[in-house]
Structure 1
Amino acid sequence: MADYRILLSEFKTGKVLAEIPASDLQYRSVLSAPGAARVQVPLTAKPLEGLDWSLISPWRTLVHVQRGPLILWAGPLVSWDVDMASEMMTMDLIGLWGYYRRCIINRESPRSDIGYVVNQVGQHVIARELIQLYGDYSADLGGNYWRSNGPDSLTFDMNYPAGKLRDRTYLWYEWKNLGEAIEQLAAVIDGFDFRIDHRRPGTGKIVNDFVFLPQGGTPTSFILEHGVNCDVTRVTSDGAQMCTETGVNGTGEGWGQLKTWWYNGGLEAEAGRRIPRLAAIETHNSVSEYNTAAAQAWRLAAVGQTPMTVPEVRLHPGGDVSAGNLRVGHIVRVRARLAAWPGVEGDYIVQEIDTRVTGSGEETTLSLVPVSIYKRVDGLEAGDGDPGKSRKE
């Protein structure tokens, strides 16, 4: 573990407070989700002498994984346990985004005295404002306004485009989960992906950057070839999410409920790929806007238009592609063949990076999804009346 350092910082300020030794480390980054990590700390190690043990306290401390000059992962300490026989402490951590899943939209905002209400505002602006208003102690967003006592953990690229215009209503008394709201805002057709990057600019603090990513991945030149710089340990093709008919239920009940559903007729009829009718229905009780419900139904159709053919990839240690230069959201090309089987070759989005580090070396595995699941489905037909109409009377 010579290339790795484990740093502790104060959650509320980002100030680096200490460095601790580790004998075993596993950390997982996940696109648009928190990820997790586990660190084993030998309690007999000399660097622990004089450590302020009050720092090893859940939610007070952020733990950062540094590899060479790069900080690859960070998140709050959630729990620890000590095995007295082995004299080993195990620290369990959740990725920094996990904190925002513990926040709620529960106050009025500069935009509305009934919560957070916007019409035709860029989706990236909505996400940033929600985080700053209800998760972080932020720069003033309008007048003398009550702000959360959050950690001010995230920075944003204020020059980033505002993104696709959206309408959103989060009433304060509904106590909508903040992390869920942003994940749902992101996970529709023409939405976005995101991750949190970390850097140490030399100020004694570690900075956490919220990064908006294009939905469908960020192109790279990385090629992962079985037997060359990686091992493709398995390839699976799963049709569990395939569908030709998609529907989303929103607010309301019975005939008054918001409903939108769509058909992918080509998938049922075209020679060479036709399958029987398969339905996929979801209910989102907080959705009151038709366009939001329709975007979620279109996303179901996009995911469901092909089987999910996915290779499992384990990187070769010391290869030209490693945990140090890959990020979730990157697009990589994967090639894997066998003598009598054509195998797979295609572009995949890195959804998860899982790295295990021990005294004997480093092992990194990737979870991938095909780029094709983000491609818009042409020729969808409205399931009730003309496109653009809902069942809500």
Structure 2
Amino acid sequence: MARLPVTGIEYVDTLNGAGTASVGMPLHAPEADPSTLLPGASGLAILRDDTPVWGGILWGATADLSAGTLALSASGYHSYYAHRYLDSTKGYSRKNADQSTLLKDWISYANANGGIGTDTSAIATRGRTATREWSFSEFKKISEAIEELADDLDGFNFRYEPYWVTTGTRIGNRFRVVKRGAEAYPQLEHRVSCNVTGVTYDGTQLATQAYAFGADLGTWMKPFATSSNPALTTPRMVTVATYSDLKASGQLIPKAAALATVGSQPIAVPTLTLYPQQFSPVQFQPGAVGTAIADSGYVALMEQYVITERRVGVDVNGTETVSLALASKEVFDNGNSG
């Protein structure tokens, strides 16, 4: 409806998550109109060279009367589905359905009942089946249903793409499913094309055995599945997760396998900032795979990593900075991306 006179922008894209955006603007600008710029009711999109690169829901605004500024906070379109439930009185049930069918069912249900018109035309048949069943009283949150399906051993990456429905006046949002490892980003090397600012090594999720438990069936028993990492040389370590809406052991097998994959090795998490004017941020989509190289003391990186977060900042002068958070590719090939 209007282009905002912004003083600064930061937007974050998170792998299989909503992401966030923060935008500053003058408090007394004509566009600072509470009737059209309304938290919970207004959309917010960020354009780069007049192309939408981020979109979501305006959830908050903070007015600083002393400084004369208005700070807008938004989350990506996926955040809307954290407020939507499969609340049909008939509940929901699909057995051995393609993952694409489940996704379209859930999003279409929201669209048909006061939703945000998410386009599902890019959700192609995946050839991977799943069973999902919830009663009305379970009131399954749609965002959780999508995330849990994506996190299965044979799951996928997803994102919501903003696009022009009518150029210059109306922006829509499209749900896109991406096969894990299907997208790539250019090779990055410390002090050549980027600055590796830090690397965190996390061994807290290591597991020689992983258990996934399901719903309590009312008989003091829960269905479960288990998977192991026999190659690990650590002392025995067990990880356990409960999926209270899954009712059969078969549904829990991919969950246990995903937990075991995450626990198969310490997770290396590099963070880096791209050198300016060498790349466009659109070359670095969350979920994309590429090689990062750094050799500095304890840090010896020369392998493939998945982008888990992309953070883009634009200051009042239009200077753009792009930072990435990465994680070991092996974890995401078959593991739980959360």
Instruction: Give the TM-score taking structure 1 as reference length.
Output: 0.80
Q: Tell me what 2:328 maps to.
A: 370
Asked if 1:247 is matched to 2:247, the reply is no
Asked if 1:117 is matched to 2:93, the reply is yes
Asked if 1:59 is matched to 2:40, the reply is yes
- The 3 A distance-change label for structure 1 pair 202 and 293 is same
Please tell me whether Structure 1 or Structure 2 has the larger radius of gyration of its CA atoms: 1
Q: Tell me what 1:184 maps to.
A: 148
Q: Unaligned 5+ residue runs, structure 1?
A: 1-16, 109-113, 138-147, 268-273, 378-393
CA distance in 1: counterparts of 2:202 and 2:33, whole angstroms = 50
Question: What are the within-5 Å matches in structure 2 for residues 1-393 of structure 1?
Answer: 17-44=1-28, 48-49=29-30, 52-108=33-89, 114-133=90-109, 135-137=110-112, 148-157=113-122, 160-203=124-167, 204-215=169-180, 217-252=181-216, 255-267=220-232, 274-319=233-278, 321-338=279-296, 343-360=300-317, 361-376=319-334
CA distance in 1: counterparts of 2:299 and 2:117, whole angstroms = 51
Cα deviation 1:258-288 (Å, max 9, x = unaligned): 1222322232xxxxxx221110001121110
SS at match of 1:206: strand
Deviation at 1:53, TM superposition (A): 3.9
SS at match of 2:101: helix
One-letter amino acid of the counterpart of residue 210, structure 1 = F
- Equivalent residues of 1:247, 1:259 under 8 A apart: yes
How many residue pairs end up in the alignment? 332
Cα deviation 1:135-165 (Å, max 9, x = unaligned): 212xxxxxxxxxx12121334225x124301
CA distance in 2: counterparts of 1:25 and 1:342, whole angstroms = 32
- Equivalent residues of 1:200, 1:207 under 8 A apart: yes
Cα deviation 1:157-204 (Å, max 9, x = unaligned): 25x124301111021221111111111111110011100111225453
Q: Unaligned 5+ residue runs, structure 2?
A: none
CA distance in 2: counterparts of 1:254 and 1:317, whole angstroms = 61
- Equivalent residues of 1:107, 1:115 under 8 A apart: yes
- The 3 A distance-change label for structure 1 pair 118 and 19 is same
Instruction: Give the TM-score taking structure 2 as reference length.
Output: 0.92
One-letter amino acid of the counterpart of residue 183, structure 1 = E
CA distance in 2: counterparts of 1:41 and 1:245, whole angstroms = 52
Cα deviation 1:206-237 (Å, max 9, x = unaligned): 1211010113x333251111111110011222
Deviation at 1:341, TM superposition (A): 5.8
- Equivalent residues of 1:192, 1:213 under 8 A apart: yes
CA distance in 1: counterparts of 2:108 and 2:99, whole angstroms = 14
Deviation at 1:71, TM superposition (A): 1.1
Q: Tell me what 1:380 maps to.
A: none
Cα deviation 1:97-142 (Å, max 9, x = unaligned): 100011011105xxxxx32111111012101111111x212xxxxx
One-letter amino acid of the counterpart of residue 152, structure 1 = G
Q: Tell me what 1:141 maps to.
A: none
SS at match of 1:182: helix
CA distance in 2: counterparts of 1:76 and 1:221, whole angstroms = 28
SS at match of 1:218: coil
One-letter amino acid of the counterpart of residue 280, structure 1 = T
- Equivalent residues of 1:347, 1:370 under 8 A apart: yes
- Equivalent residues of 1:125, 1:162 under 8 A apart: no
CA distance in 2: counterparts of 1:130 and 1:250, whole angstroms = 22
Cα deviation 1:322-364 (Å, max 9, x = unaligned): 32432112112111113x6671011111111111211252222
One-letter amino acid of the counterpart of residue 244, structure 2 = N
- The 3 A distance-change label for structure 1 pair 254 and 227 is farther
Deviation at 1:292, TM superposition (A): 1.7
Percent of aligned positions that are identical:
26
CA distance in 2: counterparts of 1:241 and 1:189, whole angstroms = 17
SS at match of 1:94: strand
